[in-house]
Chain A
């Protein structure tokens, strides 16, 4: 059951709500935890200045997500799908 190949590809993502200080009205956030490690903080865009209000933005990325310029995502599901793909790719 727990073959080596399965262990390598298994990626458990957990989301945990968190309020984030972005020095803007965008404060509803999500910690993204991959296999127990914090990999990203997503924030929902609320400010009227954004063209894509309601979208999710990767406010911070850690590890291999650090420093990446990432598009915004219309839903949390699309954000986590993108994160999952990029975490697995390495």
Chain B
């Protein structure tokens, strides 16, 4: 699984041979986690950095009245808690949405390797900065876009992020979220999610069946929600030639 980690980091930053050798020396554990299980809870001490190899997970918080808000979706290739491994405790919970394959990278190992290899530290920064950029875009999405454009924007974003890790075929991808989970992600009621998905179907923009989402007209859907992928920073202008966008592992769904 070192290969997966190396590839993930190299998509952000070219790594020296020494850095790659150091990554190969890490002892990593892969485990399978069932759908809708918490990986780490608010208040826990984050000992490991989690990398998703397969499946969907999310960051969420639950309010005292039981209402859940999902703040981020994590897809193959995403680190779950890179942004808090320096901190003492989790300020939110991370849970799976579908069955996931997870790699645990010990926090100490990350600290050591980043201290000795500036290119790896830089790649970690890049990951965190992109996470922050996505979160900013989600704030704009929640605060300023109408429900139909808001959901369209999420679907376009997932298309781009999943395409970057080889999980899209003919503009279709596994979409394991229930309507309630979409509602919890988008700050909408289940009823509004149902109506909006119906409208997007009626407009001929999407098709959603058996948890597989197909975007029927990508350009039209992007135009519909004014989607601009700059915040995903998928292409580095400095070392774009070196980027390898393929991702190991197989999709289990879709």
Contact = CB atoms under 8 A, between A and B. Distances in A.
Interface string B173-195: 00000010000000001110011
Interface string A18-42: 0000111010000000000000000
B166 to A, nearest CB: 32
A47 B67 contact: no
Contacts of B195: 22-24, 26, 47, 49
B191 A57 contact: yes
B198 interface: yes
B75 interface: no
Contacts of B190: 72
A47 B189 contact: no
A50 B194 contact: yes
A69 interface: yes
Interface string B39-65: 000000000000000000000000000
A50 B194 CA distance: 6
B197 interface: yes
Contacts of A50: 191, 194
A69 B191 CA distance: 11
B199 interface: yes
Interface string B185-214: 000011100110111000000000000000
A83 interface: no
A23 B146 CA distance: 13
Nearest to B197: A49
B67 A24 contact: no
B189 A69 contact: yes
Contacts of A22: 195
B198 A49 contact: yes
Contacts of B191: 26, 45, 50, 57, 72
Contacts of B189: 57, 69-70
A49 B194 contact: yes
A45 B190 CA distance: 12
A44 B189 CA distance: 15
Contacts of A26: 191, 195
Contacts of A72: 190-191
Contacts of B67: 69
Contacts of B198: 24, 47, 49
B199 A23 contact: yes
B217 to A, nearest CB: 21
Nearest to A59: B191
Contacts of A69: 67, 189
A82 to B, nearest CB: 14
A76 B190 CA distance: 19
Interface of A: 22-24, 26, 45, 47, 49-51, 57, 69-70, 72
Given A24-B195, A49-B195, A57-B191, 12 more contacts: A23-B199, A24-B198, A24-B199, A45-B191, A47-B195, A49-B194, A49-B197, A50-B194, A57-B189, A69-B67, A70-B189, A72-B191
Q: Can you list the 9 inter-chain pairs with the closest CB atoms, starting with the nearest?
A: A24-B195, A49-B198, A49-B194, A57-B191, A50-B194, A69-B189, A69-B67, A47-B198, A45-B191
